Amino acid sequence: MNLDLTAQDVEFRNEVRAFLDKNLTPDLAAAGRLATSVFIEPEFTLPWQRILHARGWVAPHWPKEYGGTGWDEMQRYIFASECARAGAPGLSPMGLGMVGPCIIGYGTPEQKAHYLPRILSGEDYWCQGYSEPGSGSDLASLQLKAESDSDDYVLNGTKIWTTHAHHANKMFCLVRTDPAAKPQMGITFLLLDMKTPGIKVDPIITLAGEHELNQVFFDDVRVPKSGRLGAENDGWSVAKYLLEFERGGGSSAGLEAVLARLQKHVHSDSNSDMALVRRIGELSMRLEAIKTTEQRILSDLTSGQPPGPAGSMLKIQRTELMQAIDEAGVSSLGAHAAPYQPDAWQPGANAPILGPEALVTGMARYLNNRAGSIYGGSNEVQRNIMAKAVLGL
Ligand SMILES: Cc1cc2nc3c(=O)[nH]c(=O)nc-3n(C[C@H](O)[C@H](O)[C@H](O)COP(=O)(O)OP(=O)(O)OC[C@H]3O[C@@H](n4cnc5c(N)ncnc54)[C@H](O)[C@@H]3O)c2cc1C
């Protein structure tokens, strides 16, 4: 396949660059560059989301009729890559990348009309209630109980590792509606309001010292049945559909931008360790292989379709490359990376090759991104999925 830019692609890239020059304020760009996680605080992402929404560019992967851009895969890559290069803060994937496409696939006309515009505008900020203390890889064993009571379900139980639940006003959630059925058969997919009485959100602070994760408790929480996505007890089909977007959606454009910054600084320092220079060269080749695979898989899909089990392959490749880039980044900082005390660094004194920004983000990114091979379903489990669903073993 041809990865060269056509004249139209170059014209499109120039249009995106001009838009970014005009609209990406220094504050927003700094928030993007200083990000240590896929999840950036909504105080930065939501203003950027509103700017993109006003331009009609907030949901490149959605079908045009629901607010997508109608771009082809190359244009989507150019857009993602230019945004990452300029340091635009990545938007939360929960609404636009995960539940939005699922509502497009499974929602009633009323649900589509209600939720989709609010996801595009950022009015609704979503979190994902899948995992429970006893159910992660073995997700079908989940226990959060939902009992039918006239027009409502009444929820009791808990969800854990719920990213940004403390910011979200909505949750998409898997609940057990039939405890007697086989595990996969008794699950229902609900859309609920985080302000509903009986919901309590407790913080979990990560190794990097950040508050991203939470445990959410449900005590007699009433959720209207109009919030059910798909049929009762068929939530497993909806859940798997969503996971394909979670694992295979997005692109490696963000990794490309981080690697390019690392490469530039390592190459510009005459004292750079040759082993590190070689390692970065190898990482660039891995990135090119992933980009080609993304183009090959995603260009076959019509906008709005899930990538299927190939999403598991992309998830493994991207997260393992992300962790390798972070390791190289931390190596390049040497002793400066070890104690996480960016305030101690004085400009001009022993300036590490990556500059002060890397001191703030290097170790925190490294620690935070260790979770990349766990979240979204661990990489071991993705290998099992590929063995079964792709290789037929
Ligand atoms: C940073 C972060 C953010 C997260 N955000 C969310 C969120 O927003 N919402 C949400 O619902 N969940 C979230 N999760 C939870 C995540 O989906 C689970 O952690 C993940 O699915 C693994 O489940 P577990 O932690 O229970 O580990 P376990 O399932 O207990 O697995 C432990 C280890 O055993 C391995 N293992 C398990 N089963 C197999 C098998 N069959 N074959 C081979 N190896 C196996 C796993 O790979 C892993 O290494 C998040 C997790 C992290 C770390």
Alpha carbon distance 260, 298 (integer Å): 23
pTM of the model: 0.92
> How many whole angstroms from 375 Cα to the centroid of ligand 1?
6
For residue range 242-251, what is the model confidence (pLDDT) as tens digits? 888 888 877 8
Residue 380, ligand 1, Cβ within 6 A: yes
Neighbours of 278 (CB within 10 A): 10
Residue 252, ligand 1, Cβ within 6 A: no
In the predicted structure, residue 299 carries a pLDDT above the cut 90? no
Residue 111: the pLDDT is 98
- DSSP letter, residue 135: B
> How many whole angstroms from 374 Cα to the centroid of ligand 1?
5
In the predicted structure, residue 343 carries a pLDDT above the cut 70? no
For residue range 177-236, what is the model confidence (pLDDT) as tens digits? 999 999 999 999 999 999 999 999 999 998 767 899 999 999 999 999 999 999 999 999
Alpha carbon distance 80, 302 (integer Å): 18
Mutate to test the pocket of ligand 1, among 128, 189, 375, 379 (most ligand atoms within 8 A of CB): 375
Respond yes or no: is residue 246 known to be catalytic.
yes
Q: What is the mean pLDDT of the chain?
A: 90
Pairing between β-strand 170-176 and β-strand 187-193 as defined by DSSP bridges: antiparallel
Alpha carbon distance 210, 258 (integer Å): 21
In the predicted structure, residue 258 carries a pLDDT above the cut 80? yes
Residue 266: the pLDDT is 81
Residue 251: the pLDDT is 83
Residue 8: the pLDDT is 95
For residue range 136-170, what is the model confidence (pLDDT) as tens digits? 999 999 999 999 999 999 999 999 999 999 999 99
Average of pLDDT values for 60-81?
92
Residue 163, ligand 1, Cβ within 6 A: yes
Residue 359: the pLDDT is 62
Computed on alpha carbons and rounded to an integer, the radius of gyration of the chain in Å comes to: 21
**pLDDT category of residue 372 using cuts at 50, 70 and 90:** very high
Average of pLDDT values for 259-279?
84
Alpha carbon distance 311, 81 (integer Å): 19
In the predicted structure, residue 350 carries a pLDDT above the cut 50? no
Alpha carbon distance 204, 209 (integer Å): 10
Alpha carbon distance 270, 347 (integer Å): 19
Residue 353: the pLDDT is 43
Helices (H), the chain: 7-23, 26-33, 42-55, 73-86, 93, 100-106, 109-121, 235-248, 253-268, 274-298, 310-333, 356-369, 379-385
Q: Which residue has the higher pLDDT, 55 or 293?
A: 55
Alpha carbon distance 23, 82 (integer Å): 13
Task: Please give the C-alpha separations between residue 306 and each of 104, 179, 302, in angstroms, as whole numbers.
Answer: 11, 29, 9
**pLDDT category of residue 356 using cuts at 50, 70 and 90:** low
Average of pLDDT values for 60-73?
93
Relative to the CA of 371, which ligand 1 atom is closest? Answer: 53
Report the SS3 class of residue 216: strand
**pLDDT category of residue 265 using cuts at 50, 70 and 90:** confident
Task: Please give the C-alpha separations between residue 20 and each of 11, 14, 63, 83, 84, in angstroms, as whole numbers.
Answer: 14, 10, 23, 7, 11
Alpha carbon distance 220, 347 (integer Å): 55
Residue 246: the pLDDT is 85
Residue 150: the pLDDT is 96
Residue 60, ligand 1, Cβ within 6 A: no
